[in-house]
């Protein structure tokens, strides 16, 4: 089940944090482990055995890989089994019906779909747990012998459902020993509130415009309204996902963990390559380190390097969803990154304004590919974007959403950072406290009053 609101999180957090802070240091990971399992089971209790089995298999796989370090064939076999086991669940739950549907369409068969519900966060924790076994295999990390510590790494609740993807080597020291100071807690609270506001006040508010377009039907909207809608979705998905990432990073900080940054103002990019260094940074980093580099990266011939890019972007698209539009979305970015690598980057480097316009145009169109899973509807929508269909429907929506568009565009740029840096040191703390308090009150009021609270990335 996907949580319809964040109210459950507000009920869950106080009890968990009280128990965590009250527990002695040697028991804090146990409290986190049990709390995280409860958090996951509340949403997907029937999939609890799957989560537990993945933890157990990879825990013992890590021990075996380290024990038989000198026996390369055996070590490689254990790694292969652990990856197949973990990815196997992801493949069955996420991609089985996609494969069946395509077989039925191509070969005119009647194989019934499995119609399985996708376990929450399976794409994220599968990739996360693979970083452990692969790094142990490559001797970048030592196998974790404490089962509770390992289980805590896998199911740590702040980032369990939608990232960021945290590698074992990023937090293995903090799993063993971490200090929690009042300054860290304060920073964590501020970061959490900033993420909450991004998600609730910005993503939800502007995202309702895209939902309205879907309800109207793409065939019935004018060209200006179609562009207004896809720009709204562009802002929604950014504040939705970056907001959740900030909440996870903030909660991690309050628990004594430092999670990696996941977004760095991607819409100020001047190229698609730069965009993917700023968007979902832990995912792009994962593909670079665990797929692109092992394939040879760019250290091979030009043809092979472009093949490596093709594989990475095909997998990136497929990771996001079991549908052809996601595959096309990944290959769409492969095309532009390839063009930039061949010749376009030199032009972009010389033309600052044009490079920003180019990047935003490509990104916005890309979100159209991403948002619409029905290829027929996708064709209709894109025809509306470029058919110059007239109408005054857009004026009504622009009037209603003008303010949130302005806030969304402003906060998608590093404006808060510049304001914070410009403040005198003595004034910084009171301003931050007041700002956080206002954002928290507005966010809670919105949650209580609104039933529209989707998390776009929960479905991945």
Catalytic residues: 320
- How many Å apart are CA 326 and CA 240, to the nearest integer? 19
- How many Å apart are CA 276 and CA 296, to the nearest integer? 20
Task: Give the side-chain half-sphere CA count within 13 A for 170.
Answer: 19
DSSP assignment of 67-100 equals: HTTT-HHHHHHHHHHHHHHHHHHHIIIIIHHHHH
Burial code (b: 16+ CB inside 10 Å, e: under 16) for 198-215 equals bbbbbbbbbbbbbebbee
Assigned token pair, 137: 């295999």
Residue 120 sits at the vertex; the CA angle it makes with 118 and 123, to the nearest 5 degrees, is 80
Taking the mean position of all CA atoms in its chain, how far away is CA 167?
14
- How many Å apart are CA 67 and CA 45, to the nearest integer? 34
Report which of 204, 232, 191, 203 is spatially closest to residue 394, judged by C-alpha positions: 232
Under 8 Å between Cβ of 197 and 243: yes
Taking the mean position of all CA atoms in its chain, how far away is CA 447?
22
């Amino acid at each position: 089940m996907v949580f319809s609101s964040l109210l459950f999180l507000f009920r869950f957090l106080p009890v968990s944090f009280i128990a965590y802070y009250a527990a002695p240091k040697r028991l804090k990971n146990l409290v986190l482990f049990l709390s995280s399992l409860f958090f996951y089971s509340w949403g997907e209790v029937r999939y609890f055995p799957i989560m537990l089995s993945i933890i157990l298999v990879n825990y013992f796989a890590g021990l075996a890989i380290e024990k038989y370090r000198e026996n390369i064939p055996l070590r490689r076999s254990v790694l292969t089994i652990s990856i197949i086991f973990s990815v196997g669940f992801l493949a069955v739950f996420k991609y089985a019906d996609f494969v069946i549907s395509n077989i039925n369409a191509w070969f005119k068969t009647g194989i019934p779909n499995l119609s399985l519900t996708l376990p929450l966060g399976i794409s994220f924790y599968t990739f996360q747990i693979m970083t452990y076994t692969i790094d142990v295999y490559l001797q970048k990390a030592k196998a974790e012998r404490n089962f509770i510590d390992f289980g805590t790494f896998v199911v740590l609740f702040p980032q369990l459902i939608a990232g960021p993807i945290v590698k074992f080597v990023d937090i293995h020291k903090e799993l063993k020993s971490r200090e929690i100071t009042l300054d860290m807690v304060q920073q964590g609270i501020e970061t959490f509130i900033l993420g909450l506001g991004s998600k609730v006040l910005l993503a939800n508010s502007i995202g309702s415009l895209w939902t309205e377009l879907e309800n109207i039907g793409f065939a019935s909207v004018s060209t200006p309204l179609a562009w207004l809608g896809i720009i709204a979705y562009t802002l929604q998905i950014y504040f939705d996902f970056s907001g959740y990432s900030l909440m996870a990073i903030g909660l991690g900080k309050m628990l004594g963990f430092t999670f990696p940054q996941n977004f760095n103002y991607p819409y100020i990019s001047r190229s698609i390559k730069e965009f993917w260094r700023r968007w979902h940074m832990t995912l792009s980093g994962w593909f670079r380190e665990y797929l692109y580099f092992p394939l040879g990266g760019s250290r091979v011939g030009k043809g092979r390097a472009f093949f490596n890019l093709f594989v990475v972007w095909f997998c990136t698209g497929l990771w996001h969803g079991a549908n052809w539009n996601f595959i096309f979305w990944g290959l769409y970015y492969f095309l532009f990154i390839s063009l930039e690598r061949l010749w376009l980057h030199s032009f972009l480097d010389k033309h600052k304004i044009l490079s920003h316009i180019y990047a935003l145009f490509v990104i916005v169109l890309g979100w159209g590919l991403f948002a619409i899973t029905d290829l027929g509807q996708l064709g209709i929508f894109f025809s509306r974007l470029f058919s110059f269909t007239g109408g005054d429907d857009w004026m009504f929506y622009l009037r209603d959403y003008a303010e949130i568009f302005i806030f969304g565009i402003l906060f998608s740029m590093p404006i808060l950072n510049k304001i914070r840096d410009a403040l005198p040191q003595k004034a910084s703390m009171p301003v931050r406290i007041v700002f956080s308090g206002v954002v928290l009150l507005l966010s809670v009021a919105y949650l209580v009053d609104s039933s529209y609270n989707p998390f776009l990335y929960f479905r991945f």
